[in-house]
Structure formats: C-alpha cells, structure tokens
Amino acid sequence: MKIKEILDVPEKCFVGTPMSKKDFYDHAQLKTRDIKIFTDIIDKITWVYALQEENIRITPYKDNLRDYTEVHVYNVSLKTYKEGKTDKSIDRIADIILRTIPYPMILVFQYQNEIKLHVSHIKEHLSDSTKITLEGSISTDWIDLDNLDEIDKKLFDSLKLENLNFSHFYKFYSDIVDNINIYNASKLVGRDLSVRMKLSPDEIKTIQDEIANKNREIELKRNQIRKET
C-alpha cells in the first residue's frame, strides 16, 4: 500500500520532488545534534503532493494569523529504526520540517512497510512574521500496512479526499487533524469512537489527553516503586 492508495490523491497533484537534507540544515539553521539526527536516521525526503486550488478546487483560507493556500504531503523514508530512541528523533525531525515549510502538511514517516503520520495546524508567529507557530501537533503510532485492523482501515477511509470538507483549505486540513485525533483515541481505548460515541473531535482529544496524562503518572509511579528498597 502506497500513500497514493491511502489518500486517493489525483495524479495532477503529484510532485515527486526529492528534498535535499542540506536545505533543511541551512534554512532551519540546525545545530550539530539535529544535523546528526537527519544524517543517521533519514534515507530521503520526498515532496509527494501539492494540493492546490487549481488542481483540487478548494478555496484558500486566510485570516489575521493563518494563510492556508494549499496542503502538502511529504514522505520521509528512514534508513534505520530503534524503538523508543528513534521515535524521539522522529518527533524532532517532524517539528523541524513542519516549522521550515510554510504550508499545512501531512508528514508521512516510513520504515519498511510501516508508516507514522504527523500533522499540525500552523499560524504566523506573533512576534516574528517570518516564523511559524505549530498548534496542536499530533502523530499516530506506527501503522503496519501488512496488518491493518478495522480502526486503521477506518482512518485511511476518513483521509480519502472524497470524505474531507472541501469548503476551504482550513476546514479541509482540520478534517485531517480531527480524523487523526479520533483515530489515536480509538486505538487507545480499543474501539472506534467515531461511530460509538457522539462526541466532537475536541472532546475526544480532551479525553485522550487525560488518559495519556494518567498513563504517564502510572509509569512515573512504577519507576519510583522500582527504585524503592
């Protein structure tokens, strides 16, 4: 299964342009530690799709803080993966890419036949118009494309263009973010919350955050118990 099959994006949106890692080093003014992460973990970065008004007929959206004229899809192929350690590095890579490219995007990390999605709303930095502020950055866990469960399939179905809001690019991208939030909460509780509970995406995200906080508290207590004599 490829990104095209998951998102069902028209061929006219295809870009397929390789992105140089050096461009990110220079533009984002990366420190040596971050350059090492890019070098050690990333195989290649590809700009896969550009969804624009002229190719999918969605109206741009602009207000005082947001300028959503198009949505991009990028694929980041990994050369190596080590559970735990690599995931922290991936979060850092995602943060750098999302801040460097001034468009809302779906960032797809891929290692062998597993993928991990990152998305984030963006807005203009209040004190520096040349910078971007990330708002509500979220990601999925790794999704094994060879072993999809019903919740995985429901996510991919919800991300197909035909099932998203075409009013304008902000609503379009908000649908993507909301669907991933619902997916994460569904995986957390082990059932599809989009059909079983009449809750808004914001309410589901709040519940998800509360569960995540409780799990962190539990893990902290477990670590404290292990250290007790």
Question: What confidence tens digit (pLDDT) does each residue in 10-21 have?
Answer: 999 999 999 998
Comparing 29-33, 89-93, 175-179, which segment has the lowest mean pLDDT?
29-33
User: In the prediction, which pLDDT does 124 show?
Assistant: 84
Pair 139, 208: CB distance under 8 Å: no
CA separation for the pair 115, 100 (Å, rounded): 22
User: Model's pTM, two decimal places?
Assistant: 0.85
Residue 16 lies in a domain: yes
Pair 118, 107: CB distance under 8 Å: yes
Residue 127 lies in a domain: yes
Residue 198 lies in a domain: no
Residue 34 lies in a domain: yes
Residue 228 lies in a domain: no
* Total tally of structural domains belonging to the chain: 1
Residue 80 lies in a domain: yes
CA separation for the pair 104, 68 (Å, rounded): 7
Tens of pLDDT along 194-203? 765 556 666 6
CA separation for the pair 23, 16 (Å, rounded): 17
User: In the prediction, which pLDDT does 199 show?
Assistant: 60
Tens of pLDDT along 34-84? 899 899 999 999 999 999 999 998 999 999 889 999 999 999 999 988 877
- Give the residue, 204 or 11, on which the prediction is more confident: 11
User: In the prediction, which pLDDT does 86 show?
Assistant: 83
Q: Is the dihedral of CA 198, 179, 119, 91 positive or negative?
A: positive
The mean per-residue pLDDT over the stretch 180-206 comes to 76
- Give the residue, 207 or 217, on which the prediction is more confident: 217
Residue 82 lies in a domain: yes
In our burial notation (b when 16+ CB lie closer than 10 A, e otherwise), range 186-205 reads bbbeeebbbeebeeebeebb
User: In the prediction, which pLDDT does 115 show?
Assistant: 95
Band (pLDDT 50/70/90 cuts) for residue 221 is confident
Q: Which domain holds residue 78?
A: 3-192
Residue 65 lies in a domain: yes
Place of tokens 């069902």: 8
